[in-house]
Amino acid sequence: MTVVSLRGAVVLLGGFPALAGADLGVDRGEVVLVSGPNGAGKSTLLHLCAGLLRPAAGQAEVLGCDLDADRARVRRRVGLLGHDTSLYGDLSAAENLRVWARACRVGAADVGGALDRLGLPARLRDVPAARLSAGQRRRVALAAIVVRRPELWLLDEPHAGLDVEGREILDDIVTAAAAAGATVVLASHEAGPAAGLATRTLAMAGGTLTPGPTT
């Protein structure tokens, strides 16, 4: 089953083509790494796949839904880790996840388990998110995806800001998600840390995708 299908997808940001005719097909259970330099269009690609952006031209379908007409349905079924963590700074990690879980209707019972899995110490769970370090906030943001258990994981520079332990936990989680049938698209400016996870690597430059790693 094809989870992501882009054919000549164009996304304009402020009139500038951040995606300039991207073609991409990702099947269920694949872990695809998109690597490329800064400004190549990786984040735009993930935001398009998450249903946060509308294609200006071309065809774009995610999880069987047309991204021009049915982005709301896509958004309910994906998990996106962006450059920012989407946490409310005055709420604690646990409170942030409880709000998220209730908003997603997945039940807040899994919040503790998700934070356990991400290795966030119990003493930090009731601390306002604004007081956590960048790496700890990143772990909480990943826990939010774990809580939701989405069909499509979209991870933008997932290893950024994580320490060695955090990277290992992330790799385990991604591997387990793919084994459970989820589809994962990773974006990274350096193939290194994420290359071991990927079943396929694509290079991105100038808003277009080509097979194979960036050279």
Nearest approach in angstroms of CB 131 to other proteins is: 12
Do you know the residue count of the chain?
215
Residue nearer to other proteins on the CB measure, 141 or 170? 141
Measure the CA–CA gap between 148 and 107, rounded to whole angstroms.
Answer: 9
Measure the CA–CA gap between 144 and 167, rounded to whole angstroms.
Answer: 16
DSSP letter, residue 75: H
Residue nearer to other proteins on the CB measure, 31 or 80? 80
User: In this structure, are strands 2-13 and 57-62 parallel, antiparallel, or unpaired?
Assistant: antiparallel
- Quick check: 78 binds other proteins (CB under 8 A)? yes
Q: What x-and-dash track marks residues 38-57 binding other proteins by CB under 8 A?
A: ------------x-x-----
Measure the CA–CA gap between 36 and 44, rounded to whole angstroms.
Answer: 12
Residue nearer to other proteins on the CB measure, 100 or 209? 100
Q: What is the 3-state secondary structure (H, E, C) of 155-205?
A: EECCCCCCCHHHHHHHHHHHHHHHHCCCEEEEEECCCHHHHCCCCEEEEEE
- Quick check: 102 binds other proteins (CB under 8 A)? yes
Nearest approach in angstroms of CB 48 to other proteins is: 13
Q: Please identify which residue in 12, 56, 99, 160 interacts with other proteins, judged by CB under 8 A.
A: 99
Q: Which amino acid belongs to residue 9?
A: A
Residue nearer to other proteins on the CB measure, 91 or 160? 91
Residue nearer to other proteins on the CB measure, 4 or 209? 4
Residues that bind other proteins (CB under 8 A): 50, 52, 72, 75-76, 78, 80, 82-91, 95, 99-100, 102-105, 128
